[in-house]
Amino acid sequence: MMWHNKTTQQVEDELGVDPSAGLSPQQVAARLEKYGKNKIEGTKKKSLVAMFFAQMQDALIYVLLAATVITFIIGEYTDSIIILSVVLVNAIIGVVQEYKAEQAIEALQKMANPKTMVRREGANQEIDSEELVPGDVVIIDAGRFIPADLRLIESSNLQIEESALTGESVAANKDASVVIDNEDINIGDRANMAFRSTTATYGRGEGVVIATGMQTEMGKIASILDSADDTETPLQRRLDELGKVLGLMAVGVSVLILVISVFQGRDTFDMFLIAISLAVAAIPEGLAAIVAIVLALGVTRMSKINAIIKKLPAVETLGSVNIICSDKTGTLTQNRMTVVEHFTLMGNKTIPENIIKSEADVELSADEHLMARSFLLCNDASIEGEEETGDPTEIALVAYAQKMGLIKSKAEAQCPRIDEQPFDSERKLMSTLNQMDTAYRVNIKGAMDRVLPLCTHVLDNGKEVAITEAHKVAFIEASTAMGEKALRVLAAAYKNVDEVIDPKEMEKSLVFVGIVGMMDPPREEVKDSIAEAKKAGITAVMITGDHPDTAFAIAKQLDMASERAQAISGSEINQMSEEVFNREVLNYRVFARVSPEHKVRIVKALQSHGNIVSMTGDGVNDAPALKVADIGVAMGITGTDVSKSASDMILADDNFTTIVHAIEEGRNIYKNIKKSVIFLLSCNLGEVITILVAIIFAWPLPLLATQILWINLITDSFPAIALGVDTPDKEVMNDKPRDPTESFFAGGAGFRVMLGGVLIGALALVAFYIGLSEEGYHLGQDNIPESALAHARTMTFLVLAGSQLFYSLALRHESKSIFQLGLFSNPYLIAAVVFGFALQIIIISVPFLADAFKVQPLEMQDWLIVLGLSLIPFVLKEFSKLFIRYEKI
């Protein structure tokens, strides 16, 4: 017998669980031991050794390894050791970078992993889905991922979308009460089961875990599902392209150098090594690795400010966002609702704070009493002592009813729920059918503009009377007045029926009772964030299911909108053609009473003007809008699993302010990557120029192959990474958002690379020239003795590395001087520079290293020359900032 052939009782007995209590911690521990974690084993992770060998699989590395072997065969042992060490150190740095980047991304993925609501030891609790064991009781509601295979034991209008497993995208209706005879029935037809990796789209239910991890249906087919994640960002792709082009150019230059030098009659083998080393130095193979690690470190930092990046490209896109579309409730407001007044035909009443009376104490009119009870029965929240569970709107209503003297558990015991139509943001209604002694009553709550049209009668002082225009006007006026005070309005209605009716018949011919107004104060920090966003060229727009009056009142308090005309409702949008809406869309700051599908229209309309739009969402139906938006933002606390999985970023604190902070981080990360890349390319260019110019003019070689490799190693690694993790610049939020189509080299960056490269190369040659002249030779001369060359090369070696190291300090900011930034405000960079210089000094002063690299100790005067030359690019760059600043003023 399969699980779907068994009754719920059989399932519970077999798995030894009482669903009202769930498993005990001892049972969980024992089963975890027995069945293991609820985890699908994906492809095995690469081991460090595998990563190391992957680093070695590169045409350049092969060439260097060949060079190692050749130098060894011809007896140049020190050269072969140096080349081999460079290869190894390079690979190790690469592995460390890859490992760190991977770990950062993995930690983030863990954070974004869906949690599961289970019942254990009689209490509902959220746990990590990996901790589930067979027998656990899982509580399902709309928007949740199904974390394991379940036999349902309870269901109410439950629908589950099973496309991940069956390919069928229409959600399947589920029913816990059926028992299926057929053992081999298709998975898609097992109506009393729910399967791992599917999602509940509607209704509620409970199920007992019958299989976890690899035992689930999903686990059985997991091996064919290893999806390749698209984690490369547009910038990474562009830099890859650039890397390829530059790589080809570098190879071209190296071949050119080889050809020229052969014609010049230079030593072919030496020149072969030089050409290879130069290719290694010039090919920006570090680009991709550096960008990956900077992105990874950046997203780790962002997770600390509650912005969890799910898709790496989002980091970059964030820097270009110029419109933030935000939900109201919970994101702009605190989502702490309190009913502050109510209105029935008996009049308006202010609800006092904190009065909880017993049922007997309160004098309520029949209308008020009925309204409070309707709100209480048509409600899934609960308050038990200090413990509040459920949706804040509903919690507020339970608290309100308590103040009226009504206790939820008592009311529910008296009038048990027979059926229900759950709340959804499309209908903006919820209704229940409750038993009342011998008859039944439908209780409805929802947005007033949705409830009122469903009513044929109204409760007037305990009597049901036919509803008139005057009644409607009275309610609409009362609701408008509440809306203008930024209160959220909810209406209650009911009808008595003699027998259980079809749920479809519930929301018809109702009796309107009254409305409540609840306050949800704006989050305190949001107003400042909106102002900050404005300064940064970003417009904040509110998109809400709430009423336009309420929405506008809040928007006004937050300085998002100033005039009522800036608010538009979903029904008004419906009346506009796409063309008109697209044209008008920029005039609005508040989109109220919208349904999730409006969100898609709004995003598309905003994008039609070339805007880069971020959109928040939490519900099941928000997924399409989150996907269409340039940055889909899901709510970490209130968001459904569906919205989280469709998003690019999750706000761990549901807070609007976090979006603005994330944008600031995104802009900074991009800037830092840019600095790092400019630095790398300038250095590589400098190295190429040094050699190329010397070859073209038939000068002696200013550097040896091993020297080039070494310089490349110390500058391409640590200083470049340190620039990439430079301290964030607060002032990025004074700039306009970056145009996403803008070239990476826009704003003169390409020119700066050239200038930096030419300068560094020229200075290295100057050092070579000085070195030679000190020994009494000049550049064009033949037969210069090795010792003179070694001296001049030592100077070149030091200046080439030194100027690059100093230059990295100046590249930290385009217009601010190093002193304005704080000399030590990027300690990593200082450490990288100091480390670089220390290594240089060690190589010069330790005799066997000096021999290996064919360098010589220098006199004080030479050190000063080296220092002076090395500082020039740094000084010139810093000096040029004076003018940039001058221009800005």
* Amino acid identity, position 162: E
Minimum CB–partner distance for residue 597 and ligand ATP (Å)? 13
Q: What is the CA radius of gyration of the chain?
A: 35
Question: Interface with ligand ATP by CB under 6 A: which residues?
Answer: 327-329, 391, 393-394, 423, 425, 428-430, 445-447, 488, 490, 544-547
Integer angstrom CA distances of residue 304 from 57, 107, 655? 35, 12, 14
Amino acid of residue 150? L
Query: What secondary structure letter does DSSP report for 745?
Result: T
Q: Which is nearer to ligand ATP, 394 or 716 (CB)?
A: 394
Tokens 């069945």 locate to: 35
Smallest gap, in angstroms, from Cβ of residue 594 to ligand ATP? Answer: 8
Q: Which is nearer to ligand ATP, 240 or 653 (CB)?
A: 653
User: Least distance in Å: CB of 412 to ligand ATP?
Assistant: 16
Q: Residue 327 catalytic?
A: yes
Residue 368 makes CB contacts below 8 A (sequence gap 6+) with: 342, 344, 346, 349, 404, 514
Q: Least distance to ligand ATP from the beta carbon of 398, Å?
A: 11
Q: CB-wise, 588 or 874, nearer to ligand ATP?
A: 588
Least distance (Å) between residue 545 CB and ligand ATP:
3
Least distance (Å) between residue 283 CB and ligand ATP: 51
Tell me whether residue 527 or residue 816 sits nearer to ligand ATP (CB atom).
Answer: 527
327, 380, 641, 862: the active-site residue? 327
- For residues 342 and 624, what is the distance between their CA atoms, to the nearest angstrom? 36
Q: Which has the closest alpha carbon to 483: 426, 546, 400, 398?
A: 546
Residue number, 78 or 382, with CB nearest to ligand ATP: 382
Q: How far is the CB of 1 from ligand ATP (least distance, A)?
A: 40
Q: Between residues 282 and 560, which has the closer beta carbon with respect to ligand ATP? A: 560
Give the residue nearest to ligand ATP (CB).
545
Looking at the Cβ atoms of 58 and 391, the one nearer to ligand ATP is: 391
What whole-number distance in Å separates Cα of residue 143 and Cα of residue 166? 19
CA distance 569 to 551: 10
Please report how close the Cβ of residue 420 comes to ligand ATP at its closest, in angstroms: 11
Nearest to 96 by CA among 258, 278, 296: 296
Query: Which residues, 6 or more positions from 356, have their beta carbon under 8 angstroms from its beta carbon?
Result: 402, 403
DSSP letters spanning 194-251: E-TT-EEEEEEEEEEEEE-GGGSHHHHTGGG--PPP----HHHHHHHHHHHHHHHHHH
Which residue's CB is nearer to ligand ATP, number 68 or number 638? 638
Q: What are phi and psi of 625, to 5 degrees?
A: -65, -40
CA dist., res. 622 & res. 423, Å (int): 15
CA dist., res. 8 & res. 6, Å (int): 6
Distance, CA of 507 to CA of 513 (rounded, Å): 14
Nearer to ligand ATP, 489 or 709 (CB): 489
Can you read off the two tokens belonging to residue 509?
């011919």
Cα separation, 381 vs 397, in Å, equals 9
Q: Tell me whether residue 79 or residue 549 sits nearer to ligand ATP (CB atom).
A: 549
Euclidean distance between CA atoms 87 and 81, whole angstroms: 10
What's the maximum distance between 2 C-alpha atoms anywhere in the chain?
117
Give the shortest CB-322-to-ligand ATP separation in angstroms: 21
The candidate with the shortest Cα–Cα distance to 456, out of 439, 445, 441, 471, is 471
- Residue 683 near residue 708, CB atoms below 8 Å: no
Minimum separation from the CB atom of position 619 to ligand ATP (A) = 7
Cβ–Cβ under 8 Å, residues 135 and 13: no
- Asked whether 687 and 711 are in contact (CB, 8 A), the reply is yes
Task: Give the whole-angstrom CA distance, residue 713 versus residue 721.
Answer: 12
Residues acting as catalytic residues: 327
